Amino acid sequence: MDKRARVSNALNKLPVDHVPVGMWYHFSGAEAEGEDCVQAHLKYYRETDLDFLKVMNDGAFVYPIPETIKTPEDWWRLKPLGQDHPYIKDQVWRAKRIVEEIGQERFVFYNIFAPFTCIRAGSSEAMVMRHLKENKPAVLHALDIIAQDQALLCELLIKEAGCDGVYFCVQGGEKDRFTLEEYKEIVQSSDLYVLEHVNRYSKNNILHCCGWAGAKNNLELWKGYPAKCVNWAVYVEELPIPEGRFFFGDKAVLGGFETLHMNPELTEYKGLLYSGTKEEIQNYTKELIGFCGKRGLMLGGDCTIATFLDHERVRWVVEAAREV
């Protein structure tokens, strides 16, 4: 079974020869943009022999919010970027270059952040939360506009770049941020606008319930989101894969490894992937597959791995998975 068939079968909960593996990390400096970014992704893939690649949106993480937006009322002036804006055009080009190189042999997904993440990254966390209290309709308008751009980006990534699907990252579900009702009113519509749009062009989309800050989320918020596969922070949420599989409606799942939670207060990177020996990591991989079963399972991390992690450690996981 080749890598494309292996991942396709895993996503659709069909028999596989081996459980597919995919992990990723953020690129920085020169490797975050242009051809250097393309080559960095390809180098990582070839050194690890992963079954699928998630292309990172580094260098385009920050949605371009105009600096003129200062007051809550200013959000009413936000307009869609459109497909010719560098924010969209450059990301599609990056993905297309990578698909041209390796898309025939394996699935390629692209990292997409939900509009609520985009609006905070493009302005500031404090400003968005303050403006929601002062003029909620104006901020909701902005989220709708950003959702249009993110949906268009997803469409072009599949139609023009040739990606197999997107890895859609939702955030903002921390238990102390919004109530269930508030999240549904403020955030959910923009999440679903993007997801439902991309599902028109590909059914192979992964939902990432991000636990990046190490804070537990109200996973109930994302339980019914329409995605083929779900990835959540197993160790942050304390929700093992078998229980999480049931919780999310018996969808395909991605995860199993404690990787990186981007909390500035953390001084050490936790998890066997960082500290274990080759034998320990490979034994854990095989035990994890035995514990979860091979049906509808893809191995990966809670989130991104650290940039300094030796690629060989990821390769150990790949090698062990192919022995089961």
- Please give, one letter per residue, the 3-state secondary structure of the chain: CCHHHHHHHHHCCCCCCCCCECCCCCCCHHHHCHHHHHHHHHHHHHHHCCCEEEECCCCCCCCCCCCCCCCHHHHHHCCCCCCCCHHHHHHHHHHHHHHHHHCCCCEEEEEEECHHHHHHHHCCHHHHHHHHHHCHHHHHHHHHHHHHHHHHHHHHHHHCCCCCEEEEEECCCECCCCCHHHHHHHHHHHHHHHHHHHCCCCCCCEEEECCCCCCCECHHHHCCCCCCEEEECHHHHCCCHHHHHHHCCCCEEEEEECCCCCCCCCCCCCCHHHHCCHHHHHHHHHHHHHHHCCCCEEEEECCCCCCCCCHHHHHHHHHHHCCC
Whether the predicted pLDDT of 266 surpasses 70: no
Whether the predicted pLDDT of 223 surpasses 60: yes
Contacts of 240 (CB under 8 A, 6+ apart): 234
At 150-204, the pLDDT tens digits run 999 999 999 999 999 999 999 999 988 999 999 999 999 999 999 999 999 999 9
Domain ranges of the chain: 21-255
pLDDT at 14: 98
Whether the predicted pLDDT of 107 surpasses 80: yes
Average pLDDT rounded to a whole number, residues 143-149: 98
Burial class (CB in 10 A: 0-12, 13-18, 19+), 134: exposed
Instruction: Grade residue 215 by pLDDT with cuts at 50, 70 and 90.
Output: confident
Which of 1-5, 147-151, 269-273 is the least confident region? 269-273
Whether the predicted pLDDT of 260 surpasses 70: no
Whether the predicted pLDDT of 324 surpasses 80: yes
Which of 180-184, 214-218, 317-321 is the least confident region? 214-218
Average pLDDT rounded to a whole number, residues 95-114: 97
Q: What share of the chain in percent tops pLDDT 70?
A: 97
For the whole model, what pTM was predicted?
A: 0.95
Whether the predicted pLDDT of 226 surpasses 80: yes
Whether the predicted pLDDT of 148 surpasses 80: yes
Q: Is the Cβ–Cβ distance between 306 and 28 less than 8 Å?
A: no
pLDDT at 262: 54
Average pLDDT rounded to a whole number, residues 95-105: 96
Average pLDDT rounded to a whole number, residues 88-111: 97
pLDDT at 270: 76
pLDDT at 259: 87
pLDDT at 268: 63
Q: Is the Cβ–Cβ distance between 286 and 304 less than 8 Å?
A: no
Whether the predicted pLDDT of 211 surpasses 90: no
Q: What fold is seen in the domain 21-255? A: TIM Barrel (3.20.20)
